Each structure stands twice: as structure tokens, then as C-alpha cells.
Amino acid sequence: MKKLIAIAVVAGFLVPAIAGAEISLTGKGVKLGLNLANISGSDASDDAKMNLGVALGGYGTFTVNEAFAIQPEVLYSQKGSKEGDVYFNLSYLDIPVLAKWTPAVQGEVKPFLFAGPSIGLLLSAEAEMDGDTMDMKDNTSGLDLGLVIGAGADMVINGHKINGDIRYDMGLSTLDDAGDAKIYNSVISLMVGYGF
């Protein structure tokens, strides 16, 4: 059901945005952010707490029309959770492709909404306790499919293109490599970007 909802949301953004439009690259830049990561799902531990991480990478903005753009990103992203004294540290190469809607407003600040699918490639998976680490990559799925939704604003400050957003990355594929346990990434990110 979650996957069907994700597909419907993405299609609702993308189809009207790209129908009969000429797409051109109108922006690019870098992003840095803070991840508030946890796990969710029916098999997730009730004791799971948020684990702080970072996200950083780059983006390109392809304008479809005055209101819509497609924004692919490539991000190094730290996820995971904390249970008691144990930190589960997961790192990914995330590739979200976001449909971005910017309403027509006056001024230098342009608010926007966005949504789109994300593919995460697992780079590392470790359990850490009291400075000791255990590799868990063999037990963790190498692919993390998700849906990203969020809101933010583009602005120009003293001639510099700055953007910021808050987003939620909802995992749609289980972290369990065997596929038996229903455990998913669940990440809130606060991002700041600088455009070139």
C-alpha cells in the first residue's frame, strides 16, 4: 500500500509538470544538512531512538515551466538509529529525483514544495557500542528505496543563491537483507544549499 501511495504522489507531480514542456538546466549547487534518523515498521524495536547524522552532496535543477522543475540530487547520507547504548550507523549514496513546485510570488524569497522517489546505495552498516564496532553490511539490504517529500525556499542574499528545506525520507524497502523483517529507514533532514 505504501508503494502505491508513493507512486501516485510522484505521478501526480511529474505528469502535469513534464507534459509537452521543454526542459533546461537552470541551476546547480551543493547541499549540506542534518539528518534526524530512525527506523520504523512493525518489526522495529520500541526502544529505537533518533540517531544524528549528516547529509551532503550536489544537485541540478531542470526547469520545466515557471512553476515546475525536476531536481535530481546525489547525497552522502548518514542514517540508522540508537537503542540504549548501541548506535546503528548506516551510510548511503542517496539519489533522489524531486519534482519541485514553486508558486508565483513576489520578492526575493521563493517558497517551494517537492516530492519524488529516492534510491539509496548502502555504503556501510555498523553497530557501535563503547567504541567497539561490528560490521553489519552483510545483514543489511544494499538498496534502500524511498519517497522524499518536503518544503523549502530559494532566496538571493547579496547576490548569492541560497536555499533551504526540510524533508522527510520514508523508506519503502526493508533494511533486512533476507527480506523477512519489516524495518525501514525514516529520516527527517534539515538542508541548506548554495547555488552556482
Residues 137-190 pLDDT 10s = 999 999 999 999 999 999 999 989 999 999 999 999 999 998 889 999 999 999
How confident is residue 93, by pLDDT bands cut at 50, 70 and 90? very high
Question: Of 11-15, 38-42, 112-116, which range is least confident?
Answer: 11-15
Mean pLDDT of 122-130: 96
Nearest to 172 by CA among 147, 189, 149: 147
* Separation in Å, CA 158 to CA 46, 128, 191: 47, 44, 20
Query: 99 lies in a domain?
Result: yes
**Higher local confidence (pLDDT), 175 or 13:** 175
Domain count, the chain: 1
Q: What is the pLDDT of residue 24?
A: 87
Query: 22 lies in a domain?
Result: no
Mean pLDDT of 34-53: 95
Q: What is the pLDDT of residue 108?
A: 86
Mean pLDDT of 91-96: 98
Q: What is the pLDDT of residue 31?
A: 98
Q: Which domain holds residue 105?
A: 2-17+27-195
Q: What is the pLDDT of residue 86?
A: 95
CATH number at residue 45: 2.40.160.20
Distance CA 123, CA 143 (A): 10
CB atoms within 10 A of CB 129: 12
Which residues contact residue 80 at a Cβ distance below 8 angstroms, ignoring those fewer than 6 apart? 37, 39, 51, 53, 87, 88, 89, 90
Query: 85 lies in a domain?
Result: yes
Mean pLDDT of the chain: 91
| Whether the Cβ atoms of residue 37 and residue 185 lie closer than 8 Å to each other | yes
Nearest to 90 by CA among 121, 67, 117: 121
Q: What is the pTM of this model?
A: 0.87
Query: 114 lies in a domain?
Result: yes
| Whether the Cβ atoms of residue 130 and residue 78 lie closer than 8 Å to each other | no
**Higher local confidence (pLDDT), 14 or 87:** 87
Query: 139 lies in a domain?
Result: yes
How confident is residue 22, by pLDDT bands cut at 50, 70 and 90? confident
Which residues contact residue 6 at a Cβ distance below 8 angstroms, ignoring those fewer than 6 apart? 117, 147, 170, 172
**Higher local confidence (pLDDT), 78 or 8:** 78
Question: What DSSP string runs through 5-52?
Answer: HHHHHHHHHHHHHHTT---EEEEEEEEEEEEEEEEESTTS-TT-B-EE
